[in-house]
Structure 1
Amino acid sequence: MPVRVAPGRWPLLGHTPALLRRRVHFTAGLREHGDVVKLSMGPLQTYFLTNPELVHRVMVSDGSSFGTGIMFRKFRPYAGNGLALSDGPFHRRQRKLMLPAFGRQNLRRYAELWVRATTALVESWRPGEVRQIDADMQALAMTNVGETLFGTELGEEAINEARRSIPLVIQLGMYRVLSPGFVEKLPLPFNRRFDQATARMKSVVHGLLEGRDPDVDHGDLLSTLLLAEDAETGERMTREQVHDEVMTVLTAGTETTALILAWTCHELGRDPAVAERVRAEVDQVLGGRPVTFDDVAALVYTGQVVSEVLRMYALWLLMRRTEQEVDLGPVRLRPGDEVMFSPLALHTDPRYWDHPDVFDPDRWSTDRVKTLPPGVFLPFGDGSRQCIGHLFARAEVVIGVATIFARWSLEPTGPVRVRYTTIAYPRGMPMTVRPRDQ
């Protein structure tokens, strides 16, 4: 059966205008055209997957046949050859070197920092004031990753630069991903802004690394990276590679976590009954004491809330590049072929999710979730390229939610508009802070 070409193709530009203009609605509608649909971005032809079992093959079963894809390569000027962008034996080596930094023992220590930072934030709030929760959560995530990564607060200048530049790099980088290849070489304003934001962030990271003795263990994540040795060769990462990994962790550890925290606050504010169940569980498990990493597993309902946020506010697009010939559904892929899929479209596909547009944490307590096909829920990817910090991120969010809602209620002051780049960004999220018992 031939593979259909997606509707909306323009001469020369292909499906780039549809992807940029309609984004989520366009990719969600592709399921109507088959398990595999042809898309083009200028002269680059790609295959868009709408079947979760095929996505699972790309991510897990046949994962060794696929590399990072053009989407990640477009961000190389920003994050170099960091873990999210590297491939092959080098990627496997780097992942092995970095895994200890995200082990449970370290997570327990990081959790103490997260609780302290979140407590300081909520103690600064005043009853009845309106807070921009998305900005608060971004500042909190910056503080958390700064103390976790560098053993100290990033400093106001570094935090402000990261808050300004990281979202800009992600947004403008996606224009590069979805546009024909020649576009990034043109002297266009968004190319200049991407390069300038990249240069500013590189300067921030260089400043943070400057003067750090690689042989001294400061008890932070950066020390773990600097001291990590290859078990076979005894080699450590080069300074350049540590820089690339810090850029990767700093970006992923702030943007993703901040957005998950913000959207969780938003959904709990919209549904007081769910928020009250979270508070009741927090009271029962913690009994008034601060949350710890070991409490995360016991906060079952709170975890379900986070899972539902991860389902509804997932990554919009991911891409992979075929490294060797492989059959995928009706298509024989050749080396160099690009495949695309949308975790968000899979997370909201009515073929697999009842009432997918409804925020329902209880769906995660049912047996139906256990019958979902592989590949239909990918909040942090899957397989050998699953986000190395997925336990880090989930624990940080659960701890943040438990700390915030043990003390406060949050009320939305109006509708929140959404802008999609790689993930849903709120265009402001004003919420009124109320003591929890009011």
Structure 2
Amino acid sequence: MPVPVAPHRWPLLGHTPAMLSQRAKFTDALHEHGEVVRLDLGPLHAYFVTDPSLTYEVLVSQGSKFRKGAMFDKFQPYLGTGLLLSNGDHHLRQRRLMQPAFHRERIENYASTMARAAAALVARWQPGEIRVIENDMQELAVTIVGEALFSTEIGKRAVEEVRRSIFTVIQQGMIRALSPSFVEKLPIPGNREFDAAIARMKAVVLEVIESWRADGTDHGDVLSMLLLAGMTDEQTYDEVLTLLTAGIETTAIALAWALYEVGNNPEIENRLHAEIDSVLGGRPVTAADIASLTCTEQIVQETLRMYPIWFVMRRTLVDVQLGDVQLPAGAEVIVSPHALHHDPRYFPAPDRFDPDRWTPDFVSGLPRGAFIPFGGGNRQCLGNTFAHTEIVITLATVAQQWRLAPTRPARVKFTSAPYPNGLLMKAVPRN
């Protein structure tokens, strides 16, 4: 069948102006035009999938017929062949090598690091102080991922550089992904900032690797595990940068938005505090507590629904049938967690923050592919349990001691995801 073309197509530039100006508002509405809709990103034709069952086919049931798409090609010269960008046998090999770092017993060990880092952060807050919450959560996410990766003193210096540079890489990289190739060669400030940030991070991570080679000690961190598995310095760098990029962005965004939404909904906040007090009784939260934190879990799920990444791209390796659409080999396919999570057919009143929607009956009634905060199939984020644990533990740690009251409505800066932009919140002690 003919594939409907999305509205707002410009000559030569295609749908890129609409994507960059309207962001999720544009892509969230594409389900009104069909299950698969054609988008033109400059000269590149892409197929935007709006149906959950077809999304599941792309990510899982027919996942072997796809590889990473054009968006990831733009990042590869800078992020290398880590898990985020690699394909085929190389991807499977690297995934198997890295899976032990995210086994349950490792997550339990990381949980104590998460709780300690979160407690150290909130201990610095002063009563009545106005905090820029997204900055606090970015700092926390970098600290936690950095400590899990690097346990040495030189590793701590690497964490400081990552804190300085990683969000420039993520935000400027997304602009490159949506722009024609010539744009990244222009001598404009965004390109200079991106190139400088990549160079700084590469230098400091390679310095940490060189230091480990000279020492040869297993420090019990992820870097030791990668090097002991026999990876080269370059491959280790690629995987470290992948973990930093993937492990910081999603978590920091989710934490900032969760705290804002809780602070903006007194009824939800009161229920959260009552649950935290009942389950923890004033002691620090542990990984074993998570199963008992039902309200907290619902808040996390709703946050991951409302504020996921914008979209990912895949490329067909062979001809693929998606519903009524036959895609040729080499076709670019777009899947949008944000569009799926805001589809009113599956999430009534999708723009309302409603943790109560996450009942067992509601979850069992969702079609496969409707809720994909961490992707799916063998491309599902390897650190999804790590991230989920970090969000729950941080939310519980903050809620034990503080109420955070928004001082103004939320502002959003949309790049690869809906970034909070100046979430100013007043820290009010609970006791």
Fold-level similarity (TM above 0.5): yes
1:277 maps to which residue?
271
TM-fit CA distance, 1:202: 1.2
> Given that residues 99 and 382 in structure 2 are in contact (C-alpha distance below 8 angstroms), is that contact kept between their aligned partners in structure 1?
yes
Q: Are the counterparts in 2 of residues 13 and 179 from structure 1 also a CA contact under 8 Å?
A: no
The reply on whether 1:115 has 2:109 as its aligned counterpart is no
AA partner of residue 257 (structure 1) = T
Give yes or no for contact 1:44–1:180 (8 Å, CA) kept in 2. Answer: no
Aligned-residue CA RMSD (Å): 1.6
User: Deviation string for 1:155-213 (max 9, x for gaps)?
Assistant: 78645542342222222212221122343344444333322221122123223323103
Between the aligned partners of 2:270 and 2:219, the Cα distance in structure 1 is 40
1:39-118 alignment runs, 5 A limit: 39-118=39-118
Q: Which residue of 1 aligns with 2:13?
A: 13
- Larger mean CA deviation between 376-385 and 135-144 belongs to 135-144
Counterpart in the other structure of 2:224: 223
Distance in 2 separating the partners of 1:366 and 1:101? 30
Give the match for residue 291 of structure 2.
297
Offset at 1:124?
Answer: 1.2
The separation in 2 between residues aligned to 1:154 and 1:276, in whole angstroms, is: 43
Match of 1:314, as an amino acid?
Answer: P
**Corresponding residue number in structure 1 for 2:344:** 350
1-structure distance, mates of 2:258, 2:411: 15
Instruction: State the identity %.
Output: 57
**Partner of 2:29: helix, strand, or coil?**
helix
Separation (CA, whole Å) in 1 of partners of 2:297 and 2:384: 13
The 1:322/1:192 distance shift into structure 2, 3 A limit, reads same
C-alpha contact (below 8 Å) 1:77/1:198 kept by paired residues? no
Q: CA deviation at 1:8?
A: 1.1
Letter matched to residue 204 of structure 2: V
1:131 is matched with 131
**Residue identity matched to 1:110:** Y
CA distance in 2, matches of 1:13, 1:164: 33
Contact 2:170-2:245 within 8 A present in 1 as well:
no
SS of 1:40's equivalent? strand
Counterpart CA distance in 1 for 2:153 and 2:338 is 33
Structure 1 Cα separation of the partners of residues 271 and 7 of structure 2: 45
User: What is the deviation of 1:327?
Assistant: 0.8
Q: Is the 8 A contact 2:171 2:415 kept in 1?
A: yes
Q: By how many angstroms is 1:114 displaced?
A: 1.1
- Distance in 2 of aligned mates of 1:149 and 1:161: 14
**Secondary structure in structure 1 of the residue aligned to 2:358:** helix
**CA drift at 1:215:** 4.2
Q: What one-letter code is carried by the residue in structure 2 that aligns with 1:226? A: L
User: Shift of the alpha carbon at 1:135?
Assistant: 0.8
Inter-CA distance 154–7: structure 2 relative to 1 (3 Å threshold)? farther
User: Residue 244 of structure 1 aligns with which residue?
Assistant: 238
Could you tell me whether the CA contact under 8 Å between 1:349 and 1:356 is conserved in 2?
Answer: yes
Matched with 1:422 is 416
Task: Report the equivalent of 1:177.
Answer: 177
Q: CA 1:158/1:225 → structure 2, altered by over 3 Å: closer, same or farther?
A: closer
Letter in 2 for 1:24: A
Counterpart AA for 2:192: R
Amino acid at match of 2:225: T
Aligned residue in 2 for 1:387: 381
Q: What TM-score, normalized by structure 2, do the two folds share?
A: 0.96
Deviations 1:283-309 (Å, cap 9, x if unpaired)? 222222111112112212101100000
Residue 382 of structure 2 aligns with an amino acid whose one-letter code is I
What SS does structure 2 have at the residue aligned with 1:307?
A: helix
| Deviation of the 1:427 alpha carbon | 1.4
User: Offset at 1:153?
Assistant: 6.8
Matched, 1:317 2:311: yes
**CA distance 1:217–1:154, shift in 2 (3 Å):** closer
SS of the aligned residue for 2:122 comes to helix
- Structure 1 residue matching 2:37: 3-state secondary structure: strand
Structure 1 distance, partners of 2:287, 2:11, is: 54
**Partner residue, 1:376:** 370
Q: Which residue of 2 aligns with 1:30?
A: 30
Instruction: Report which stretch shifted further, 249-258 or 184-193.
Output: 184-193
Amino acid at match of 1:174: M
Query: 1: distance between equivalents of 2:117 and 2:233?
Result: 29
Query: Structure 1, unaligned stretches of length 5 or more?
Result: 229-235
Q: Is 1:397 the counterpart of 2:398 in the alignment?
A: no
